[in-house]
Amino acid sequence: MFTRLIQRKRPRRSVLLAIGAAALAAIGLIVAVAIAVTQYDTGTGSPSFTGNCDVTVASNNSSADCQLGAAGGFVSYIGSNDTARQASGTGLFDPFVRLQGSPTEQGFNTDAPVTFDAKTGTWTHAIKVNAIPIVACNRFTGDSARCWELFVDINDSNTAKRISLNKVQIFFTNSSVLSGYTSGPPPAFSSPSGNVTTEEYDFNGNILINDVNSGSGRGDLRYRVPIAGHTWDSTTWFVLYSQWGTTSGTAGNFGSGGYTSDGGFEEWKVKKTPNVSITKTADAASVNAGSSIGFTITVTNSGVADATGVTISDSLPGGTGLSPVHWAESPDNSNCTITGGDGSQVLSCGPVTLAASGGSLSVHVSASTTAANCGTYDNTATFTSTNAGSGSASASIAVNCGALMIKKESTKGTNPLVLNAGAVFSVAGPSPSTTSFNVTDDTTAAAPDEDALAGEVCVSGLAPGTYTINEVSPPTGYGAASASQANQSVTVANGTNCTTSKPGTGATATFTNAPLYDLQVNFKDDGSGETSATISCSPLEPPDSTAPPSPYTTSSTYTSRSAPQTVTCTITVDP
């Protein structure tokens, strides 16, 4: 089975990142086996911010945005009355780390016993990179970049609304149980043994917040991190370390007091979103002509929310040979249909809802092939959805064909091939899909005999395998094949043809036959009517199939005799 897998559209390209003036020194990892492309944000923000990323607002009727430094992180405080961007409600979010401390707090998510100020419970756990939603960054007009979207539920008291977020570090790791973090440089995790960790993102600065929202369960602070330059797979864990409340002073646009934590919790979380991927798998990398070809298309939702309005579309390959193939579902899927004529068929499935945590839709299509369908069938299927993006997957399958050669040679040494076309041969094979047909030697170079020489036959577009060749009838002027030349076996190899890659010795059947002649011996009475004769000739090959001439035969004719030979005829007059 050969599969090529493509997730939802997620850029994988590397990027060259500028590092801001206030960035940390180059950061490495003690346990990393490769250097990651770490993105740095300094907190200096875009030109409209100087020194701090200030997203303080006066009331929950307002929201504020801040673009961070060179890495392009984008932070927003979203007032609870901002109906366009605010999100809240039971079951909407999946928390993955909760911190609670005063006057500062720090910690990271893990399945190991928690350290620092992380709180034990369902709100602190390991999380895969694939579980982090990816959205448009929307940092400025025309921005096409994609970002991980993280939220923080801020729960400081109503009397001490101010708090600062001072450090955010994102790591990729192959373990869900991390402990022993040291801030560095270089930052690192000391366990477990064999852990491989790379730092992917680092913010170190002052994000100033005035938490005017009331209650918990909201997405108060939204933090978007560009995904460009990062690579991961379904086994990669996402670890986030953050530090709060270290900003000194009371400066800011709104609110009053300092930015230390008062002991309420700060909870990082992600929206529960679907995560749909599509795979397309060929039944085999290649088949021999005459066998069926097929693909299986599957869309799967591995996310924590249902995927809605999921559809599949697949313009099925029409056929690369002389005739189009006919596709059909096998077995039939009630969610899918195939429309259009052979050569332009389209598979359509859905829309359907895929349940969270593994809901899927799968369909298998197949088509039979003949020697007219040799070639490679490339195919791409796509999916769309109303809440899980889109994606595509491709696969290909080759229909293998080859060629065989038949030669009709003369016993005359002066000409290896017979001079006349017209010989007929039977071709049978290969097993288990045995086909049988006759082919006539001609000089047109048109199928089925694609060789223009008399005495030579080439047939292409055959499934690789073993074939049995017999001579049905010889050309005019030549004898039939002997019994010892019957049932000749040849092996057709994939990729051979009658033009640029002709069959070799193992795919060539040769029939050698003698040219024929007619012998006539005459006796004639000269008018008296009283003379007679008997005529006897020998040896004759092949032997005469009729009775020898009776006495007084005046003429004996021997046809289709094999040459070369010496024949002696005896004529007895008036026996």
Average pLDDT of adjacent 10-residue blocks, the chain of 575 residues? 33 28 27 42 44 86 87 89 74 90 96 95 94 87 89 86 94 93 83 86 91 86 93 92 92 88 93 90 90 95 88 90 85 96 94 93 94 86 91 93 93 84 93 78 92 94 90 92 93 89 92 85 82 79 53 63 79 79
Cα–Cα distance measured from residue 215 to residue 153, given in angstroms and rounded to the nearest whole number: 9
Residues 6+ apart with CB under 8 A from 504: 493, 496
What pLDDT was estimated at residue 559? 74
- Domain spanning 276-400: CATH 1.10.3720.10: no
> What are the C-alpha distances in Å from 153 to residues 79, 107, 300?
12, 15, 30
pTM of this prediction? 0.53
What pLDDT was estimated at residue 435? 74
What pLDDT was estimated at residue 554? 58
| Residue 342 CA to its chain's centroid (Å) | 23
The SS3 call for residue 32 is: coil
Select 402-513's CATH number: 1.20.120.80, 3.40.190.10, 1.10.150.120, 2.60.40.10.
2.60.40.10
Alpha-carbon Rg for the chain in angstroms: 42
Query: In the numeric block, which tokens belong to residue 388?
Result: 């899980």
| CATH 2.60.40.10 location in the chain | 402-513
| CATH 2.60.40.1530 location in the chain | 276-400
Cα–Cα distance measured from residue 474 to residue 477, given in angstroms and rounded to the nearest whole number: 8
What pLDDT was estimated at residue 96? 96
Cα–Cα distance measured from residue 515 to residue 420, given in angstroms and rounded to the nearest whole number: 10
Q: Which residue do the tokens 């928390």 mark?
A: 95
Cα–Cα distance measured from residue 566 to residue 575, given in angstroms and rounded to the nearest whole number: 25
Beta 391-400 vs 286-288: how paired, if at all? parallel
What pLDDT was estimated at residue 558? 73
What pLDDT was estimated at residue 218? 84
